[in-house]
A = this chain, B = another copy of it.
């Protein structure tokens, strides 16, 4: 069951400049930064609020590190902006299977590694009214971030 807006993924050309914009304009702060080689991005997670399911909602700022990454291709086509939205669940595997069973294409056969040790998968935007949609199960609270 999807129990929160986990994050909004925003594609940008220059992560440092975009982080600076969010810090200086709104006072948000970087909770976590990492490079995800598999996704071909470096990213910053800005924590905005905690959520009633015990999780939190973040902005995820994404800068491509390779020209062949999906985010680089997306930026070339669309320019900077909202790249995807993500819902949090305690059971990404079960939810992905259930959603696949409803005829929505799930992009990975098995969930992969996402931000902060989470497990993630994506739903095809053409099956979701144009919205690239991610499902996330956070790492246990004692995992590194």
Interface residues of A (CB under 8 A from B): 1-5, 8, 10, 12, 18, 21, 24-28, 48-53, 57, 59, 79-82, 85, 87, 99, 102, 104, 125, 128-131
Say yes or no: B82 contacts A85, CB within 8 Å. yes
Say yes or no: B125 contacts A48, CB within 8 Å. no
Say yes or no: A131 contacts B81, CB within 8 Å. yes
Q: Across the two chains, which residue of chain B brings its CB closest to A89?
A: B26
Q: How many copies does the complex hold?
A: 2
The A contact surface, by secondary structure, is mixed
Contact of A48 among B49, B80, B87 (CB under 8 A): B87
- Chain B hits for A25, CB < 8 A: 99, 102, 104, 128
20 A-B pairs besides A10-B129, A81-B125 with CB distance below 8 A are A2-B26, A3-B49, A4-B48, A5-B8, A5-B48, A8-B82, A12-B129, A18-B129, A24-B102, A25-B128, A26-B99, A49-B51, A50-B51, A51-B51, A51-B57, A80-B129, A80-B130, A81-B82, A81-B129, A81-B130
Q: How far is the CB of A14 from chain B (nearest CB, A)?
A: 9
- CA–CA, A57 and B57, complex, Å: 9
Known: A10-B131, A129-B12. A27 touches B2 (CB 8 A): yes
Q: Across the two chains, which residue of chain B brings its CB closest to A80?
A: B130
